Amino acid sequence: MTNNDIFKKLRVALQLRDDQIVEILALVNFRVSKGELGNIFRNEEHPNYVECGDQLLRNFLNGLVIHLRGTKEEPKNPMEVIKSHKNTPPKEGNEEKEVKPKTENFKKPAPAFKAKPKKKTFPKKEPIVEKVRFKNGKNKPKE
């Protein structure tokens, strides 16, 4: 398992966004841009893929400890911090945008009265079987 795999799994397990990871790394005075993080999280076959170095993963883990537990002066409850990840909206100017629901997916209000649906009338079709003549490979009887 590579450092990239470990980093990806921690990101998914803790439900972290890129801007939150940048903030965690800033706690230990390690600067990384969102673009560099995007390259680390890419597929290995992608041309812009970058391997995650030991220094980056080490600083992320140290920053994660501070982020979750806090410092000696200001301790935190880790479970509350993890739950807050779900509730925090992305910061302004972030690439992640709020998705607005499409109006097509919502049902239209029902009319005050329900009219009976009209039955569609179709012309009667001729049975196809009567037109077909089955020979079954037998010769015609001689007359």
pTM higher than 0.85: no
Nearest to 34 by CA among 95, 91, 103: 95
Q: What is the pLDDT along the chain (143 residues), one digit of tens a residue?
A: 889 999 999 999 888 899 999 999 998 998 999 988 999 999 889 888 999 889 999 999 999 988 888 877 777 777 787 777 766 666 655 555 555 555 555 566 666 666 677 777 777 776 665 665 666 666 666 65
| pLDDT given for residue 21 in this prediction | 92
Every domain of the chain and the residues it spans: 3-87
| pLDDT given for residue 90 in this prediction | 63
* DSSP state letters, 80-133: HHHHHHHHPPPPTT-S--PPPPPGGGSPPPPPSS-PPPPPP--PPPPPSGGG--
Please calculate the CA angle 32-44-38 and round it to the nearest 5 degrees.
Answer: 25
Helix (H, G, I), strand (E, B) or coil at 75: strand
| pLDDT given for residue 129 in this prediction | 59
| pLDDT given for residue 117 in this prediction | 72
Torsion of CA 42, 45, 49, 52, to 10 degrees: 80
Q: How many Å apart are CA 45 and CA 48, to the nearest integer? A: 9
Question: Tokens standing for 34?
Answer: 């969102």
The residue type at 22: V
| pLDDT given for residue 78 in this prediction | 75
| pLDDT given for residue 124 in this prediction | 74
